[in-house]
Amino acid sequence: MKYMNIRIVIYGFIMCLLPVCTQPVFAQQALTAEDVLERVDRNLSSGTRIVESSMTIHGRRTSRTITSKGWSQGDKRSFTEYLSPASEAGTKMLKLEDQLWIYTPAADRTIQISGHMLRQSVMGSDLSYEDMMDDRKLSEIYTARITGKDTLGGRNVLVIEMTAKVNDVAYYRQKAWIDEERFVPLRQEMYARSGQLLKRTDLTDVERIQNRWFPRTMVYKDMLKEGKGTEFRVISIIFNQEIPGHIFSKASLR
Amino acid sequence: MKKFLLKGILHDRGRSLVPVFVVAIGALLTVFLYSWVTGAMGDSIEMSSNFNTGDVKVMTRAYAAEADQIPNDLAILGAGRITEQLKNRWPDMDWVARIRFGALADFPDREGLTRGQGPVAGWAIDLLSANTKEPSRFNLPGAIVRGAMPSQSRECLISEELASRFDVKPGDSFTLFGTTMEGGFSFTNYIVSGTLKFGSAGLDRGAVILDIRDARSAFCMDDAAGEILGYLPVSYYDHKMAVAVQSRFNADIKEFAPDEEKMFEPVMLTLKEQSGMAELVDYSKAISAMLIFIFVAAMAIVLWNAGLLGGLRRYTEFGVRIALGEDKGHIYRSLLWEAVMIGCIGSLAGTAAGVALVYALNVKGFDMSGYMQNATILMPSVIRPAITPVVYYIGFIPGVFSMLLGNALAGAGIYRRETARLFNELEV
Amino acid sequence: MWSFKIAFKNLIGAGRRTWLNVAVLSIAFVVIVFFNGLLDGWNIQARTDTTAWETGYGRMTHPLYDPYDPYTLADAHGLSGSLFASEIQTGNAVPVLITQASAYPNGRLINVMLRGIDPRQNVLLLPSRLLDSLPPQAGEETIPAIIGHRMAGACQLNEGDKMIVRWRDVNGTFDAREVFIAGIFRTTVPAVDAGQVWIPLEALRNMTGLYGESTMIILGPWVTESHSMPRPGTLLEGWRYEDREMLLQEIEDVIKAKRSSSVVISVLLLGIALLAVFDTQVLSVFRRQKEIGTYIALGMTRLKVMFIFTIEGTMHSLLAIALGCVWGIPLLKWLQHTGIPMPQMTDQAGLAVSDKIIPIYSMGLILTSVLLVVISSLVVSYLPARKIAKMRPTEALKGKLI
């Protein structure tokens, strides 16, 4: 059984969602962790977003890059279309609430991913469809506290620890290194309930976009496995632009 | 004298027919048994060879290291060229590329939306070439429950249980949702041409067999193959032969992949080197050796007995010959010569008949389906006797030697004969 | 009776010839018994082992459980309530909870099933008691686990090693912990070995948040004997009952296929032996025409003479069986004692193959083989003897060829 690599394509999808869900925030003097998360939110979060991004997957043999364009509105609706390479071009994904459909021109079919498949990290891979659909705000899921200061990549950072306050969350605990000045997370680590480090994300190339600080590059790594991880790069991003409603309908898949 | 004896055997059918017949039948049975045991005892090995390991298998070094995970991202690139080279070098072997995969089968409703889906294990093999032996290797025609073999591209076979679970009939189409070699999405529509019984609960739950050309385009594996399997030109696994092929291939490896990374250069493994087959091979060999020994020994006793009988029934004749003044030693020697000749003629005839029978069965296969409830892929109902060089001589062992031994023992009585008693016997 | 006596005397009188035939026939007889005994033994061993290690004497499974679809595991668990609660209390039934997980032995990723089982259970042969304690060097959070030797080989793990296992709880939250390999067991049943990690049931329930839940309840022999069980495949209090026969069906099928192949070998072997008897009979009829003529002259009917000759030939088989008993019984007993070594292999059907098979010779098997040998030798003895019916006594007396 080896459809685990499906996940790699999904990363692209995540990329367009990620800024919505990765909202650690910040503040300056005497900031509480909540303040920090809120300031991060202001940088990364938006009502709607249109992102063009590329994703580089480091396979064992070759590396390949996939580009996609994603439209998202809030945390409930999103639509992604793959642009390249040719083999993926034209594949579209629609997520509405907790339902997910994939359309491919190759088969000219819309396939719904549901039930057990959503929960399944097939072959025990790092991500499931469900993971990628979980896009609640961090502040809704976690209680946070500032545990210290540090430097990372030449920037001063605040270290924030987050512990889940709801049950249905993929990672019980997270740790984030957040730029003290710009309020952008530069590193995130995900931990199991037992304290075992599971994943690490490094965010770099922080740039000023539409009056926000935004990390253009993100490297995602499963810490239990060997490998170089997966790299995301934002090619272009537009915040808060009106998106026509028909984009988020099954009709737009075809 | 030998010529004279031969003439006697050929002309006096009353004297020679029964012994020749018995020896021939004996030789035939021995040949058949040997061939059957070699073929049938190796059935687990042959199944593994057909289904999984080949007699030899070429994979990339990296793929071989985790073959049980079916890592198609580590598949052989340039499989066409390698297969071509293999074919040129070993033209009498059959070389076939295969791709194994896991995927999700998605069955649509009338509107083309997902009606049901389930995980499947898949084999992509050469189904459509003119002279492909792959369908019979997988026992596909015999294991079809409904429908027929795929006859064109984009047709495939699925397990009967999967089909009935999702109410799929031959002619219906479905989508296979898998992963390309590079990790991208793969969606391809197939038409179910027939359904199969695999005979293993796991595979019957969900398995699909499709043509390798379809798989290559579906999984972006142009000119790639997970594995290239080689089949020796004999119907059983001959380890020596496999090792010879392997060592030559691995010596030539630089020709194939001079520049590539070592991880991805092709390596050849023999059947015996693959997943736990070594002990099975040795075991089957030991068991068949034991069985063959028992058979040949039993046959030898039977023919010895026949020789003995043949000698005994000629006591009267010997009596007359002794009475006529013939030297006892001469009679004995002529008896032995006759035995050798009868043994040879019988063994020759029996071996010829046996080999012909075995050849016929080897080509056709011995269909055991009468004994079995249902033929399945993993439990083929057809057994093929093996043809090895041994079949040409094994019949002679009991045929000639036992005949000789039997006659020698029977003839020993000649020396004990008293002339006085001989005349008694002449009264007849 | 008289004809039996005379046939017997004739046969013994023939000496060496008879004994050669009898020897071959006895080999055939013993080998046939052995072969079938081996298959019966294999069948019983596979059934016994599968029962002892995997299936128990039947089981109640969650209705959503499908052993061939791991996706179902996420939902295939529940509270069994009062179902066999007292049997579970008394140790006559054991609940098992199964969860998919990823194991990371030495940096590799392997998909496994975490199976929770009561360490004090007695229903299955698993050395679950090893799950009851942890050595002091293992950390508080470490979970004791037992795995089979195939799994140990695939992951290159030894007793005392640790590996990280990651799973998701009932809410989908990832959790990961070290498991400590408290024991490695050897079993012939791949289903409880390959890809399976056994841990204490309560630990798995806590880890996943599935408090008190299980995927299946494996029943001991006492339960199925003392309760009136529902029809296999039907639901009892919402749980599906599978009986032993249903769980062992696959073994039955494989053995059936193997048996058909052994039939051919038996037939050929018997064929060889019968050829000897046939050959002897042909010669007897041919050589002993004077004798036949004498019998007839003495007033016996030709049918009677034919009968004597047929009995004489058939008696080979009786002697063969007697001889077979003389050397076969000790040999077969010895083979039963030592067992037949089998190769370590993962059979294609996932069948339990022990490294030694103890052949089992049932009364039925022996009687069938006896009947087979006697009847077939009766037939080959009768065929040449038919000639006698066509003989003219005067000619026969002179010993002339027919």
Residues B293 and B180 in one domain: no
- Residue of A124, A164, A171 with shortest CB distance to C109: A124
Predicted pLDDT of residue B380 = 54
Half-sphere exposure in the Cβ direction for C308 (13 Å, CA)? 23
The tens digit of pLDDT for each residue in B299-308 reads 777 777 777 6
Query: Percentage of chain B with pLDDT > 70?
Result: 84
The tens digit of pLDDT for each residue in A114-138 reads 655 665 543 333 455 555 555 567 7
Predicted pLDDT of residue A203 = 92
Contact residues on chain B for A59, CB-CB shorter than 8 A: 73, 182-183
Contact residues on chain A for C68, CB-CB shorter than 8 A: none
- 3-class state of residue A124 by DSSP: helix
Residues B27 and B61 in one domain: no
The tens digit of pLDDT for each residue in B164-198 reads 989 999 999 999 988 888 777 788 999 999 998 87
Predicted pLDDT of residue A120 = 53
Q: Minimal Cα distance from B200: which residue of C?
A: C349
CB contact, 8 Å: C367 with chain A? no
What is the domain range of residue B400?
A: 2-44+280-426
The total number of structural domains that make up chain B:
2
Q: Minimal Cα distance from A85: which residue of B?
A: B184
Chain A: closest CA distance from residue C46 (Å): 28
CA-wise closest residue to C273 among A119, B300, A159, B286: B300
Under an 8 A CB cutoff, do B183 and A112 touch? no
Chain B: closest CA distance from residue A109 (Å): 6
Contact residues on chain C for B68, CB-CB shorter than 8 A: 154
Residues B222 and B110 in one domain: yes
Give the model's confidence band at B379: pLDDT under 50 very low, under 70 low, under 90 confident, else very high: low
Under an 8 A CB cutoff, do C104 and A171 touch? no
Under an 8 A CB cutoff, do A111 and B175 touch? yes
CB contact, 8 Å: C114 with chain A? no
Q: Minimal Cα distance from B110: which residue of A?
A: A109
Give the model's confidence band at A21: pLDDT under 50 very low, under 70 low, under 90 confident, else very high: very low
Predicted pLDDT of residue A238 = 92
Could you tell me which residues come within 8 angstroms of residue B282 by beta carbon, excluding any fewer than 6 positions away?
Answer: C343
CB contact, 8 Å: C64 with chain A? no
- Mutation target among B179, B222, B261, B265 for the A interface, most CBs of A within 10 A: B179
CA-wise closest residue to C115 among C162, C165, C163: C165
Q: Minimal Cα distance from A131: which residue of C?
A: C172
Q: Minimal Cα distance from B427: which residue of C?
A: C398
Predicted pLDDT of residue A24 = 44
Give the model's confidence band at B265: pLDDT under 50 very low, under 70 low, under 90 confident, else very high: confident
Contact residues on chain C for B304, CB-CB shorter than 8 A: 20
Under an 8 A CB cutoff, do B33 and C66 touch? no
- 3-class state of residue C104 by DSSP: strand
Q: Minimal Cα distance from C70: which residue of B?
A: B119
* C-alpha B147: how far from chain center: 28
Predicted pLDDT of residue C402 = 41
Q: Are B305 and B406 in contact (CB under 8 A)?
A: yes
Under an 8 A CB cutoff, do C71 and B280 touch? no
What pLDDT tens digit does each residue of chain C (402 aa) get? 677 887 788 778 777 778 877 888 888 888 888 888 888 887 888 888 888 998 889 999 999 998 877 778 888 899 988 888 888 888 889 999 999 888 888 777 778 899 999 999 989 999 999 988 777 666 677 899 999 987 888 788 899 888 999 888 888 788 888 899 999 998 878 788 888 999 999 999 998 999 999 999 999 888 888 878 888 888 888 899 998 888 888 777 777 767 776 777 788 778 877 877 887 787 777 777 778 888 888 888 888 888 888 888 888 888 889 998 998 889 888 888 877 766 554 444 445 566 667 788 888 888 988 898 899 999 988 888 887 777 776 766 665 544
Residues B19 and B71 in one domain: no
Under an 8 A CB cutoff, do A114 and B114 touch? yes
Tokens matching residue C304: 């009677």
Phi and psi angles of residue B272, each rounded to the nearest 5 degrees, phi first: -65, -25
Under an 8 A CB cutoff, do A5 and B73 touch? yes
Q: What is the mean pLDDT of chain A?
A: 78
Residue reference for tokens 């030693």: B329
Under an 8 A CB cutoff, do C166 and A224 touch? yes
Under an 8 A CB cutoff, do C253 and B199 touch? yes
Which CATH superfamily is A6-253 part of? Lipoprotein localisation LolA/LolB/LppX (2.50.20.10)
Chain A: closest CA distance from residue C162 (Å): 14
CB contact, 8 Å: B51 with chain C? yes
Task: Judge whether B237 lies within some domain.
Answer: no
Under an 8 A CB cutoff, do B183 and A59 touch? yes
Tokens matching residue C124: 């299955």
Across A32-36, A197-201, C138-142, least confident range: C138-142
Q: Are C283 and B313 in contact (CB under 8 A)?
A: yes
Residues B149 and B202 in one domain: yes
Q: Are A2 and B179 in contact (CB under 8 A)?
A: yes
Relative orientation angle of helices B403-416 and B328-364, to the nearest 10 degrees: 160
Q: Are A91 and A99 in contact (CB under 8 A)?
A: no
Write the secondary structure of chain C as one string of H (helix), E (strand) and C (coil): CHHHHHHHHHHHHCCHHHHHHHHHHHHHHHHHHHHHHHHHHHHHHHHHHHHHHHHCCEEEECCCCCCCCHHHHHCCCEECCCCCHHHHHHCCEEEEEEEEEEEEHHHCCEEEEEEEECCCCCCCCCCHHHHHCCCCCCCCCCEEEEEEHHHHHHHCCCCCCEEEEEEECCCCCEEEEEEEEEEEECCCCHHHCCCEEEEEHHHHHHHHCCCCEECEEEECHHHHHHCCCCCCCCEECCEEEEEHHHHCHHHHHHHHHHHHHHHHHHHHHHHHHHHHHHHHHHHHHHHCHHHHHHHHHCCCCHHHHHHHHHHHHHHHHHHHHHHHHHHHHHHHHHHHHHCEECCCCCCCCCCCCCCEECCCCCHHHHHHHHHHHHHHHHHHHHHHHHHHHHCCHHHHHHCCCC
One-letter amino acid at C288 equals R
Residues B319 and B225 in one domain: no
Contact residues on chain C for B206, CB-CB shorter than 8 A: 68-69
Across B24-28, B379-383, C122-126, least confident range: B379-383
Q: Are C157 and C104 in contact (CB under 8 A)?
A: no
Contact residues on chain C for B279, CB-CB shorter than 8 A: 343-345
Among A62-66, A168-172, B152-156, which range has the highest average pLDDT?
B152-156
- Residue of A61, A102, A108 with shortest CB distance to B73: A61
One-letter amino acid at B297 equals A
- Residue of A192, A225, A226 with shortest CB distance to C174: A192
- Mutation target among C34, C110, C345, C347 for the B interface, most CBs of B within 10 A: C345
What distance in Å separates the CA atoms of residue B269 and residue B249, rounded to the nearest whole number? 10
Tokens matching residue C44: 């019983």
- pLDDT, greater one: C115 or B324: C115
Tokens matching residue B189: 């529509």
Of B231, B266, B301, which marks where a domain is finished? Answer: B231
- Residue of B70, B103, B189 with shortest CB distance to A107: B189
- pLDDT, greater one: C202 or B21: C202
- Residue of C104, C111, C171 with shortest CB distance to A225: C104
- What burial class does residue B386 get, using C-beta atoms within 10 Å of its C-beta: 0-12 exposed, 13-18 middle, 19+ buried? buried
- 3-class state of residue A126 by DSSP: coil
Residue B19 host element (H or E): helix B13-41
Q: Are C93 and C123 in contact (CB under 8 A)?
A: yes
Residues B137 and B190 in one domain: yes
What distance in Å separates the CA atoms of residue C305 and residue C298, rounded to the nearest whole number? 11
Among B43-47, B55-59, C347-351, C366-370, which range has the highest average pLDDT?
B55-59
One-letter amino acid at C100 equals Q
CB contact, 8 Å: B309 with chain C? yes
Q: Are A11 and A127 in contact (CB under 8 A)?
A: yes
Residues B33 and B171 in one domain: no
Could you tell me which residues come within 8 angstroms of residue C359 by beta carbon, excluding any fewer than 6 positions away?
Answer: C34, C37, C38, C40, C41, C332, C335, C336, C340
Residues B309 and B187 in one domain: no
Under an 8 A CB cutoff, do C264 and B202 touch? no
pLDDT at residue B364 greater than cutoff 80:
no
Task: Judge whether B137 lies within some domain.
Answer: yes
- Residue of B108, B119, B187 with shortest CB distance to A1: B119
Under an 8 A CB cutoff, do C250 and B201 touch? yes
Among A153-162, B267-276, C151-160, C286-295, which range has the highest average pLDDT?
A153-162
- Residue of C75, C164, C172 with shortest CB distance to A130: C172
CB contact, 8 Å: C68 with chain A? no
Chain A: closest CA distance from residue C23 (Å): 56
Residues B171 and B311 in one domain: no
Residues B201 and B301 in one domain: no
CB contact, 8 Å: C89 with chain B? no
Contact residues on chain B for C348, CB-CB shorter than 8 A: 44, 47-48, 51, 200, 378
CB contact, 8 Å: C178 with chain B? no
- pLDDT, greater one: A213 or C356: A213
Under an 8 A CB cutoff, do C177 and A164 touch? no
Q: What is the mean pLDDT of chain B?
A: 81
Domain ranges in chain A are 6-253
What distance in Å separates the CA atoms of residue C161 and residue C181, rounded to the nearest whole number? 6
Under an 8 A CB cutoff, do C279 and B309 touch? yes
Contact residues on chain B for C283, CB-CB shorter than 8 A: 18, 309, 313
